[in-house]
Structure 1
Amino acid sequence: MKRISDFFLRLSLQRKLSQSFFYGAIASVSVVTSVLVISTKTNAQTPAVNNTEVNSYAQAVLAMEPARQKAFEEIKKLIGGREIPKIVCNDSNSINGLSSQAKDIAVNYCNRSQKIVEDNGLSIDRFNKITVELQNNNDLKQQVLNRLIHLQKVSDPR
């Protein structure tokens, strides 16, 4: 018979893992996809993020994460013990500084990520704006975290 403490310990561990995954994924996504849309619409207000966009954003982040981890590991193997440089998909300088093989991996990842975002109903522009908004809006961050936890539970019912 399972003890109640085991149940709470498991829930606490699941929540910590989900939160760690969320913050890691958001940080990775923002590093990989940022440099953002500061160009043409600098002064424009970002409209509120609706529930559909929160869901689309969370689904895109979850779908991108395995590809991001794989690309990261492949680039890590290629560059050996050196520090992995910051790779930003819409900053060609960050990608051009990589070796030919690493550049191919990064470009492939960026192209797949863009398709994942669009397949989940968001434009790259909107995805990037939501990413920026997450850094400044704790309510939105909590909404996305809750959605990520829900999606993970649905995809991995135990």
Structure 2
Amino acid sequence: MKKISDLLPRTSRKRILSQSLFFGAIATVSVISNAFSLSSKAYGQTLPPIVNNTEINSYAQAVLAMEPARQNAFEEIKKLIGNGEIPKIVCNDSNSINGLPRKAQDIAVDYCSRSQKIVQDNGLSIAQFNKITIELQNNDILKQQVYNTLLRLQKSPDSP
């Protein structure tokens, strides 16, 4: 039985070997340079925080200030609806408010208006407040920061 190397002429074997070494060297250099370029990018890039400490504090203060009004509005709407399930009310979703009975709509709109003022009085735009609210759903670190801030604010005597 003949070897594969015996079937190829000597010059073809040299050419295949040199081509394999050449392509192997290119692949190795490519992998090494890629590794260095990726690692240098990773060290050089630090993503800015999505929310800074001032925004977290403002957000927590707004939430604390809104909570009594939210509970009051919820109780009033609950009395109007009776034993029925109270639908989720989202201030920037008119459909969630339009599905309520007329008096409950008035209560919800009043609550949303007061909440908007509270947010702005605490130094945030509605867009910032909503951005933080959405980010809280997926960011456990931010969730913990807001939670800790809420606890700190509730313990301090001058909390809202």
Q: What is the TM-score with the length of structure 2 in the denominator?
A: 0.67
Question: Matched residues in 2 for 1:155 and 1:53: separation?
Answer: 21
Q: Which residue of 2 aligns with 1:7?
A: none
Q: Which residue of 2 aligns with 1:112?
A: 114
CA-atom RMSD in angstroms: 1.9
Flag structure 1 segments of 5+ consecutive residues without an equivalent: 1-45
State the 1:86 CA deviation. Answer: 1.2
Matched letter for residue 105 of structure 1:
I
Using the TM superposition, name which of 100-109 and 88-97 deviates more.
88-97
Which residue among 126, 140, 151 is the counterpart of 1:149?
Answer: 151
Q: Identity percentage over the alignment?
A: 78
Higher relative contact order (CA 8 A, sep 6+): 1
Question: Matched residues in 2 for 1:100 and 1:47: separation?
Answer: 42
Q: What is the TM-score with the length of structure 1 in the denominator?
A: 0.68
State the structure with more CA Rg.
Answer: 2
**1:79 partnered with 2:81:** yes
SS of 1:88's partner is coil
Q: 1:116 to 1:124 in 2, by over 3 A?
A: same
Using the TM superposition, name which of 103-112 and 83-92 deviates more.
83-92
Which residue among 50, 53, 68 is the counterpart of 2:52?
Answer: 50
Matched letter for residue 91 of structure 2:
C
* 4+ aligned runs moved over 2 Å, structure 1: none
Count matched residues. Answer: 113
Matched letter for residue 85 of structure 1:
P
Q: Which residue of 1 aligns with 2:137?
A: 135
